[in-house]
Amino acid sequence: MPPALSPENALFLDVDGTLIGLAATPDSVIVPPNLHDLLRALKTRQGGALAILSGRPLADIDRLCGAGLPLAAEHGAVLRGPAGQITSPVTRPKALTAIAGTLRAHIANLAGVLLEDKKFGLALHWRGAPERAAELTALLQELAAPHPELTLQKAHEALEIRAAGPDKGKALEFFMRESPFAGRKPVFVGDDVTDEPAIEAANRLGGLGMHVARDFDGGPSSVRAWLAGAIR
């Protein structure tokens, strides 16, 4: 089990695969009944220095984690600071609109494949059709290639084409420049390749970046138990 969380740490948490278990679709995840209360209590314990870093849209994070928490949505393309201000370091690439139409037409008759249309990206999920992984990856690579303002982001049985630039590491660094995060040692927990930049940033800033599979036994339930232990 990881070391105990100090009240002096700045705490950063991923959502899917970290706080809640993965599911067949983004909308079918099951939120533990005490999660909102747990996160509110942790925010108080950490003196406000708690933020959610997720690839999900802002509205999804509020629904899953409770409204009003500091957060980085869509891999850091949307930031809600400690005072509630919402900013973005990028604009929506115009190419995404045309690409969305192409993707919808391509997957219209593909069972088990889902297109998630976000403000700054498009995510294809194929957990229900894993045999489509190579085909859909090749398609997204082809669509992204002519557009340097776009990047491809791997995830669990999904691939996202999104605005280049933001990532969770840069989002963590943003918060670490803001009160009440500034001057603390960051602790981050994530589970996916999308979380590696934040893991690296937390370590580089003198804190601790942790990966669910590497540092916790039992997945999200173990993460929640570790967090709950901090407020007992």
What is the CATH classification number for the domain harbouring 24?
Answer: 3.40.50.1000
111, 142, 163 - which closes a domain: 163
- In which band, very low, low, confident or very high, does the pLDDT at 172 lie, cut at 50, 70 and 90? very high
* Same domain (yes/no): 49, 64: yes
145, 163, 181 - which closes a domain: 163
* Same domain (yes/no): 152, 208: no
What is the CATH classification number for the domain harbouring 117?
Answer: 3.30.70.1020
Domain containing 138: what range? 95-163
For residue range 4-59, list pLDDT tens digits in order. Answer: 999 999 999 999 999 999 988 899 999 999 999 999 999 999 999 999 999 999 99
- pLDDT score at 197: 98
* Same domain (yes/no): 173, 137: no
Asked if 138 and 106 count as a contact pair (C-beta separation under 8 A), the reply is no
* Same domain (yes/no): 143, 131: yes
- Spatial strand order of the sheet with 114-117 comes to 114-117, 121-125, 158-163, 150-155
- pLDDT score at 96: 96
Q: Is the peptide bond before 220 cis (omega within 30 degrees of 0)?
A: no
Contacts of 186 (CB under 8 A, 6+ apart): 9, 10, 11, 12, 172, 176, 201, 202, 205, 206, 207, 208, 209
State the pTM of this model: 0.94
* Same domain (yes/no): 17, 81: yes
Told to judge if 14 belongs to the known catalytic residues of this protein, a careful annotator would answer yes
* Same domain (yes/no): 195, 221: yes
* Same domain (yes/no): 45, 157: no
Could you give the CA distance from residue 150 to residue 58 in angstroms, rounded to a whole number? 20
For residue range 76-133, list pLDDT tens digits in order. Answer: 999 999 999 999 999 999 999 999 999 999 999 999 999 999 999 999 999 999 999 9
* Same domain (yes/no): 171, 124: no
* Same domain (yes/no): 121, 14: no
Residue 38 lies in a domain: yes
* Same domain (yes/no): 78, 182: yes
* Same domain (yes/no): 82, 170: yes
Residue 4 lies in a domain: no
* Same domain (yes/no): 19, 43: yes
Contacts of 44 (CB under 8 A, 6+ apart): none
- In which band, very low, low, confident or very high, does the pLDDT at 207 lie, cut at 50, 70 and 90? very high
Residue 69 lies in a domain: yes
pLDDT at 1 over 80: no
DSSP, res 20: B
163, 192, 213 - which closes a domain: 163
Q: Is the dihedral of CA 197, 199, 31, 156 positive or negative?
A: positive
Q: What is the dihedral of CA 222, 225, 229, 230, to 10 degrees?
A: 80
Q: How many domains is the chain built from? A: 2
- In degrees and rounded to multiples of 5, residue 109 shows phi and psi of -115, 20
Residue 186 lies in a domain: yes
Catalytic residue among 14, 167, 191, 195: 14
Strand partners, 125: 114, 158
Residue 3 lies in a domain: no
